[in-house]
Amino acid sequence: MIEIKTSDNNTIKKHNILTMRTENILVIGANGQIGSALTGYLSNIYGADHIIASDLRPKENHDGVFEVLDVTDAKRLDELVKKHHVTQIYHLAAILSARGEADPLNTWQLNTQTYFNVLEVARANGIKKIFFPSSIAVFGDHVDRNLAPQHAVLYPTTVYGISKAASENWSNYYYKRYGMDIRSVRYPGIISYQSLPGGGTTDYAVDIFHKAVKGETFTCFLSEDTYLPMIYMDDALRGTVELMEAPADNLSIRTSYNLSGISFSPSELTASIRKWHPDFEIIYQPDFRQSIADSWPKAIDGSTAKQDWGWQPRFDIDAMTKEMLEKLGEKYRRSILEI
Ligand SMILES: NC(=O)c1ccc[n+]([C@@H]2O[C@H](COP(=O)([O-])OP(=O)(O)OC[C@H]3O[C@@H](n4cnc5c(N)ncnc54)[C@H](O)[C@@H]3O)[C@@H](O)[C@H]2O)c1
């Protein structure tokens, strides 16, 4: 057992490196907000040759193995699993909350059909572990919005949330019925500098940093006092791999674990940004995403994840803001120099 340092100098928990180097991990939806960061993170841990990134389109400047995959095509998925002797699948492909409302039936179809393809191909090929990302969108109405518990009655209000809640139950079903080792977290809104988010209700909390760094006024699509659960990408990635590497016997949840991070409102985030950019300006123009946010919890209780596999977030709002501003500042400065 050793301690592993990631490229951004974070230490993740001790893992058995010899066991980990024998894994071949297929990441589906690798070009998205999470996938872009996760593939590099997994490469640092398991070795770049062991990570097979895949998405609908090739990724520019991808350093490592990449396969074009539309995961609605189960046959192609099956071919890739066999070709690369895949042992684990991270299934990230989905249509997210805000975008999903534009075409509910297509969103349901894509989000659930792709997951069934993953489950069935994994079952046929004896895949050892599957990671499925769920969301705080599963809670919806009638949950304690101040601190959504691990075990809650789920009344999701978006088609995205409905598809995630159904998929959580299918994960549990495949675990119980076929003994498949499926692991999942309910991610809060994820904040990252590596790539832009893909149409979720928490996207404002990423866009705001880009505007602040560029010295522009930010128009926020949520009201100033809308609290939502969020998490910094470093914490999200570390939590994901810690869950995937936890001993199976420790896991009491086979639907999806609440992954707690931080909770804040747009006005609190603005106050944090102004510690580094005192002139930063924000205006509030809530749109249809406000009603989605109003149906979501303000914070989630991650105590079961803590109890079962030691989950502990590291980034508070100011630590996150500082790093976001630094990293995006470097990025924009580099792109100006390259012009
Ligand atoms: N980002 C967040 O804040 C957040 C929060 C909760 C849950 N999640 C979940 O995590 C997962 C990844 O989220 P993200 O933010 O990276 O999303 P994203 O929209 O940024 O990326 C999704 C990726 O999936 C790909 N994709 C879509 N359809 C596909 C198909 N048929 N075949 C193959 N690839 C396909 C897209 O091209 C895209 O690159 C999703 O399941 C999402 O629901 C994300």
Distance 250 CA to ligand 1 centre (A): 28
CA distances for 131 relative to 71, 72, 86, 255, 330, angstroms: 15, 17, 13, 11, 32
d(CA 242, CA 257): 12
Query: Among this protein's residues, is 160 annotated catalytic?
Result: yes
Tens-digit pLDDT profile for residues 69-86: 999 999 999 999 999 999
- Ligand 1, closest atom to CA 111? 41
What value does the mean pLDDT of the chain take? Answer: 93
Quick one: average pLDDT of 9-26?
A: 67
Instruction: Give the per-residue pLDDT at 52.
Output: 98
| pTM of the complete model beyond 0.75 | yes
Mind giving me the DSSP string for 9-26?
SPEEEEE-HHHHTT--EE
Instruction: Give the per-residue pLDDT at 339.
Output: 58
Tens-digit pLDDT profile for residues 86-127: 999 999 999 998 999 999 999 999 999 999 999 999 999 999
CB 230 within 8 A of CB 30: no
- For 131, the token pair is 């990671």
Q: Is 300 in the pocket of ligand 1 (CB under 6 A)?
A: no
Whether the per-residue pLDDT at 334 is higher than 90: the answer is no
Distance 133 CA to ligand 1 centre (A): 9
Instruction: Give the per-residue pLDDT at 313.
Output: 98
2-338 topology per CATH:
Rossmann fold (3.40.50)
Tens-digit pLDDT profile for residues 161-188: 999 999 999 999 999 999 999 999 999 9
Q: Is 28 in the pocket of ligand 1 (CB under 6 A)?
A: yes
Tens-digit pLDDT profile for residues 210-256: 999 999 999 999 999 999 999 999 999 999 999 999 999 999 999 99
